[in-house]
């Protein structure tokens, strides 16, 4: 049976999936999910585990925080804010930032055309890199965090195996 690992945009499960493939007989399937449905796959058991962007509703979930990401403002390369090494929310106050209902790809396209800025985690900005956009760290916003989540009542031993991989345990570890 295939082990299904969800991951939000910007998260990079490849290193851990590679170790899984070296050590396990069962295949692993990497399933992209968006932040608005990242918990749904876990709660419906469509996913065994997921790399999620925190916070999540922890009721019924185990969550291991993994790493933090800096918030960045994505902007057209000709934007005057590119003269700064980093920006604040005050610097962004006059820029269009409401991308409600707009896909990430379309928002980056609009930013590339010179329509405002888009604030996202750095990994997302790197994923959507183009020649006509750049980004600057937003210094007065909190970092975002990526974590590994799974259902509390999921007692599949493969979950413990994957936790061991993420935590850097070797194949010879007594904990799996």
Q: Are 98 and 158 in contact (CB under 8 A)?
A: no
Sign of CA dihedral 12, 15, 18, 23: negative
Q: Which domains does the chain have, with CATH numbers?
A: 3-68+144-166 (3.40.190.10), 71-138 (3.40.190.10)
Instruction: Kindly report, residue by residue over 152-173, the tens digit of the pLDDT.
Output: 999 999 999 999 999 988 777 6
d(CA 149, CA 63): 4
Sign of CA dihedral 165, 171, 175, 176: positive
What is the pTM for the complete model shown? 0.86
Q: In degrees, to the nearest 5, what angle opens at C-alpha 22 toward C-alphas 18 and 23?
A: 120
CB count in 10 Å sphere of residue 4 = 18
Classify burial at 55, counting beta carbons within 10 Å of its beta carbon; exposed 0-12, middle 13-18, buried 19 or more: exposed
Quickly state the pLDDT bin for 174 (edges 50, 70, 90).
low
Instruction: Kindly report, residue by residue over 43-88, the tens digit of the pLDDT.
Output: 999 999 999 999 999 999 999 999 999 999 999 999 999 999 999 9
pLDDT of residue 47: 97
d(CA 100, CA 36): 13
Classify burial at 5, counting beta carbons within 10 Å of its beta carbon; exposed 0-12, middle 13-18, buried 19 or more: buried
Q: Which of 68, 65, 33, 70 is nearest to 166 (CA)?
A: 65
């Amino acid at each position: 049976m295939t082990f299904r690992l969800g991951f939000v945009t910007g998260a990079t499960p490849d290193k851990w999936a590679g170790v899984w493939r070296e050590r396990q007989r069962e295949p692993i399937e990497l399933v992209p999910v968006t932040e608005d449905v990242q918990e749904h796959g876990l709660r419906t058991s469509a996913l065994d585990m997921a790399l999620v962007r925190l916070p999540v509703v922890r009721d019924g979930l185990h969550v291991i925080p993994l790493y933090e990401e800096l918030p960045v403002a994505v902007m057209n390369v000709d934007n005057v804010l590119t003269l700064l090494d980093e920006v604040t929310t005050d610097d962004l106050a006059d820029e269009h930032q409401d991308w409600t209902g707009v896909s990430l790809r379309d928002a980056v396209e609009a930013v590339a055309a010179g329509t405002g800025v888009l604030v996202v985690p750095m990994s997302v900005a790197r994923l959507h890199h183009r020649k006509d956009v750049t980004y600057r760290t937003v210094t007065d916003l909190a970092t975002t965090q990526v974590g590994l989540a799974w259902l509390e009542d999921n007692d599949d031993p493969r979950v413990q195996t994957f936790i061991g991989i993420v935590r850097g345990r070797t194949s010879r570890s007594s904990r799996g």
